[in-house]
Amino acid sequence: MSAPATNLVTINVDGRDYQVPAGMNLIDALELFGLEIPHYCYHPKLTVAGNCRMCLVETGMPMRDRTTNQFIIEPDGRMKIGWGPKPAVACTTNCTAGLHVRTNTPVVKDCREGVMEFLLVNHPLDCPICDQAGECKLQEFATDYGRGYSRFIEEKNVKPKRTRLGPRVTLDDERCILCSRCVRFCAEIAKDPVLGFIERGSYSTLTCYPGRELDNNYSLNTVDICPVGALTSTDFRFKMRVWFLKPVPSICTESSVGANTEVWSREGKIYRITPRENNAVNDCWMSDSGRELYKQVESPLRIDYFAVNNGKCAPDQALARAAELLKGGGVGYVGSAQSSLEEQFLLGQLVKAAPGPVAFVKHAGKGDGLLISNDATPNLRGAFLTGLVRELPKANLDELRQKVESGAIQTLFVVHEDLAALGFSDALLRRVKIIYLGTHTNLMSEHAQVVLPGLTVFEKSGSFVNQQWRVQRFFQAVPGPAGTAPDIQVLGQLLARVQGESAGGFSPEAIWPQISTVIAPLAGWTWESLGLQGRVLDASSWAHVPFPEGKSLRFDPAAVTAVKAG
C-alpha cells in the first residue's frame, strides 16, 4: 500500500474496470477490492523476489495503430488488447492506465495448478503435526487452486528437520518453499543478514551461517511471514491448534512505539502475541521481547485480592479504607505510564477530589531505531494529556522522597510502580500509609495499608497514546484472575467514594464522553472513532517537551519538529 491514492488509473480485471492508485503493485491493488491473487513470496513490505510464480496472470495493454498511434478499436467497439505471449507475475506488475488482467482463464488456472503441484512434490505433507496447519498458505491455496490429487510417486528430497535456527525460531527445511521472505526480512528490515540459502536447485536449503544464530529481537517476524510451516516459534510449537485461538486487537506495552498486536487466547489462556498491521506505526512487525509480555499474566505473584493491613478483604472494605485515607489529607500520588488513558483520566479526577502532588517515574528504554523507543512505557503522553504531568519524569523521585521525609505526605497512592525498587528504603516506606494498585506482589504490596488488584493490558480494555500522539485502543483478550476488577472500575469506585457519590459502571465507552469534553485535543472524539488504527491528536501544546524518543520505523522526531518549525 505504498503509492499515494491521489493519482487513480483505470485497470481492467476479468472484464471489469477498477480505479486504482497509479503505480501500485497489482496484488495490493486488487486486495483493495477484496480480490485475491494467490502468492507466497510477495510481501508488501519486502523487495519483490518473483520466485514462487504463484501469482502468474495474463496481462495486456491496449494496442495502438503503428501509423496513427491511435488505439485500435475492435468491431464490437472495445479496445483491442495486446496480450503478453506468456503469463506474467502480478508481483512485478505495477498498475498503469489501461492495464488489462485476466485471472480466470484456463492458462492461469493451469499455472496455479502447476505451481501448487510443484510446491508439494517435495513437501512432507505432515500437516497433522504441523503448527502452521490452519494458517498455512500451502493448505489454503491447495484447496482453492490445486488439482486435488498427486501425480508424484518418486522419493522426496530429504532435508534437515527441527533445526534450532536461534533461541526462538525452529526450522523444518523440508517444509520450506524457498520463497526467501525470511532472508529478505533479516537483510532488509532487521538489518541482520544471517539467513541464506545453501546448495542449489531443489536441494537448496535455508540456513544460518554455522556458528551464528537468528537471535535478533525481531526473529519471530520470520515465523509470522513464513507462508508455510518451515519457520515456527519455539515457544508456541505444539502448544495449540491455531483454529482454536481467538485473536483480540491489542497494543504492545514494551515502549512508547505502541506496536499494534493481536493477542491469541483460548479459554482464558494466552498462547501467543503476533503483530497487527498498522502502516503508520509498526507495519507488520513487532519485537520478540514484546511477544513475551503475556507471560506476566499467569504468575503465582498475581495480586488477585483486595487487602487492608495485609489481610485479604472484600472490595468494599478496601475501597472504603482507601477513600478514608485519601480524604484524610497529606496525599501524594505516583501515577503510571503503564495505565491507560482512561485510567489516567480517572486518576486525574481523583487528584482533583483529594489534592496532592503527582509524581511519575522515568522508565528509560534503549531504543533500537525500529520498534522499541527510548521510553519503556506505552502511555507517558497520556499523562500529559490528562494533566497528571506537565514535564518529563525525572530520573529520581527526590521531590517525593523529601515530602515523605518531611512528613508533608502521609498517604501515598501508588499505581503499578515499585518505589522500593527506586531506592525508597523500608524505613521511608514505613513513614507513609500506602495505597497500592498493582498486578503483582512486591515490597509495595507488603508495605501497603490498602492493596487494590490491577490488571495487565491483556485483561482489560482502554487506549494508549504513543510517541506519535496516536491514541490507540486495546481490548480485553482474557478475563483477569478471579477476585480482581479492571483498574478502571477500581479507580472509578474509589473516585465515587472520595466524592461521596454512588458508583456507576466504569468502562472506556462510558468515560470517553467526559474525556472528549475535558481534554481539548480530543474534543469531538469518541471511543469508537479511534478505530483499529488509532487517531493522531494535535499535540502542539507539548511541542516544547523534550521527549526522549529517537527515530524508529515510522516515527522521526526530527521530521515532526521540522514540520512544526515550518
Partner 1 sequence: MPVQERRIIYRHIDEPGYTIDLACYQRHGGYEVLRKALQRKPEELVQEVKDSALRGRGGAGFPTGMKWGFLDRKSGKPVYLICNADESEPGTYKDRQIIYKDPHQLIEGVVISSFAIQAKQAFIYIRGEMFEGFHILEKAIEEARAANFLGDNILGSGYSVDVVVHRGAGCYICGEETGMIESLEGKRAYPRIKPPYFPAVLGLYNCPTIVNNVETLCQVKHVIDMGGKEFVKIGVPGDSGTHIWGISGHVAKPGYYEIESGKATVRDLVYDLAGGPAAGRTIKAIIPGGVSMKILRMGEKFKVKLPDGSAGEWGVLDIPLDSGSFMQCGTSLGTGGMIVMDDTTDMVEALANLNAFYAHETCGQCTPCREGSLWLKKVTHRVCNGGGRLEDIDLVKNIADQIAGRTICAHGEAAAWPCQSNVPKFRDEWEEKIRAQMQAREHGELAARKGLRLV
Partner 2 sequence: MNLSEKTTQYIDRLIPRYPVKRSAMLMILHAIQEEQGYLSKEAIEWTAQKLEVQPIAVYEVVTFYPMFRQAPIGRRHVKVCRTLSCALRGAYKVCDTLQHELGCGLGETSADGNYTIEFVECVAACGSAPVVMVDDKLHENITPEKTPDFAAKLKRETTPSMPPSRH
Choose between 95 and 351: whose C-beta lies nearer to partner 1.
95
**Counting contacts by CB under 8 A, is residue 195 touching partner 2?**
yes
**Counting contacts by CB under 8 A, is residue 118 touching partner 1?**
yes
Binding-site partner at residue 151 among partner 1, partner 2, none, CB < 5 to 8 Å by type: partner 1
Which residue reads 501509423 in cell numbers? 67
Picking from 472, 502, 517, the residue whose alpha carbon sits closest to that of residue 249 is: 472
Stretch 530-549: interaction string toward partner 1, x if CB under 8 A: --------------------
Contact segment (CB under 8 A) with partner 1 among 48-56, 98-106, 217-225, 421-429 equals: 48-56
Choose between 66 and 151: whose C-beta lies nearer to partner 1.
151
Picking from 215, 55, 200, the residue whose alpha carbon sits closest to that of residue 137 is: 55
The single-letter code of the amino acid at 31 is: E
Query: Do residues 46 and 181 lie in contact, with contact meaning Cβ atoms separated by under 8 Å?
Result: yes
Q: State whether the Cα torsion 428-331-304-460 is positive or negative.
A: negative
Stretch 166-205: interaction string toward partner 1, x if CB under 8 A: -----------xx------------------x-xxxxxx-
Residue 153 CB burial class (10 angstroms; 0-12, 13-18, ≥19): exposed
Other CB atoms within 10 A of residue 269 CB: 14
Query: Do residues 391 and 414 lie in contact, with contact meaning Cβ atoms separated by under 8 Å?
Result: no
Contact segment (CB under 8 A) with partner 2 among 24-32, 199-207, 269-277, 519-527 equals: 199-207
Contact segment (CB under 8 A) with partner 2 among 208-216, 232-240, 284-292, 394-402 equals: 208-216
Contact segment (CB under 8 A) with partner 1 among 106-114, 236-244, 427-435, 513-521 equals: 106-114
Residues 6+ apart with CB under 8 A from 172: 124, 161, 162, 163, 229, 230, 232
Contact segment (CB under 8 A) with partner 2 among 22-30, 188-196, 245-253, 272-280 equals: 188-196
The DSSP call for residue 319 is H
**Counting contacts by CB under 8 A, is residue 87 touching partner 1?**
yes
**Counting contacts by CB under 8 A, is residue 193 touching partner 2?**
yes
Q: State whether the Cα torsion 151-154-157-162 is positive or negative.
A: positive
The distance of closest approach from Cβ of residue 96 to partner 1 in the complex, given in angstroms and rounded to an integer, is 12
Binding-site partner at residue 550 among partner 2, partner 1, none, CB < 5 to 8 Å by type: none
**DSSP string computed for 201-228:** GGG-EEEEPTT----STTTHHHHHH-SS
Distance between CA 514 and CA 114 in Å, rounded? Answer: 60
Query: Do residues 354 and 228 lie in contact, with contact meaning Cβ atoms separated by under 8 Å?
Result: no
CA dihedral 502, 503, 504, 509 (to 10 degrees): 140
Distance between CA 360 and CA 566 in Å, rounded? Answer: 32
Helix (H, G, I), strand (E, B) or coil at 147: coil
Residues 6+ apart with CB under 8 A from 13: 30, 35, 100, 101, 102, 103
Choose between 199 and 398: whose C-beta lies nearer to partner 2.
199
**Counting contacts by CB under 8 A, is residue 152 touching partner 1?**
yes
Contact segment (CB under 8 A) with partner 2 among 207-215, 264-272, 407-415, 459-467 equals: 207-215
Binding-site partner at residue 87 among partner 1, partner 2, none, CB < 5 to 8 Å by type: partner 1
The distance of closest approach from Cβ of residue 11 to partner 1 in the complex, given in angstroms and rounded to an integer, is 17
Report the relative pairing of strands 462-465 and 470-474 from DSSP bridges.
Answer: antiparallel
Among 198, 301, 408, 523, binds partner 2 (CB under 8 A): 198
**Counting contacts by CB under 8 A, is residue 155 touching partner 1?**
yes
**Counting contacts by CB under 8 A, is residue 136 touching partner 2?**
no
Report the relative pairing of strands 163-164 and 169-171 from DSSP bridges.
Answer: antiparallel
Residue 410 Cα to chain centre, angstroms:
41
**Counting contacts by CB under 8 A, is residue 209 touching partner 2?**
yes
Picking from 354, 454, 498, 456, the residue whose alpha carbon sits closest to that of residue 412 is: 354
Binding-site partner at residue 122 among partner 1, partner 2, none, CB < 5 to 8 Å by type: partner 1
Binding-site partner at residue 352 among partner 2, partner 1, none, CB < 5 to 8 Å by type: none
Picking from 488, 414, 410, the residue whose alpha carbon sits closest to that of residue 444 is: 414
Choose between 91 and 194: whose C-beta lies nearer to partner 2.
194
Among 196, 357, 550, 557, binds partner 2 (CB under 8 A): 196
The distance of closest approach from Cβ of residue 21 to partner 1 in the complex, given in angstroms and rounded to an integer, is 19
Choose between 107 and 420: whose C-beta lies nearer to partner 1.
107
Among 81, 89, 326, 350, binds partner 1 (CB under 8 A): 89
Choose between 52 and 293: whose C-beta lies nearer to partner 1.
52
Binding-site partner at residue 209 among partner 2, partner 1, none, CB < 5 to 8 Å by type: partner 2
Other CB atoms within 10 A of residue 442 CB: 18
Binding-site partner at residue 193 among partner 1, partner 2, none, CB < 5 to 8 Å by type: partner 2
**Counting contacts by CB under 8 A, is residue 23 touching partner 2?**
no
Residues that bind partner 2 (CB under 8 A): 193-200, 207-212
Residues that bind partner 1 (CB under 8 A): 48-54, 56, 85-87, 89, 92, 110-111, 114-115, 117-119, 121-122, 151-152, 154-155, 157, 177-178, 197, 199-204
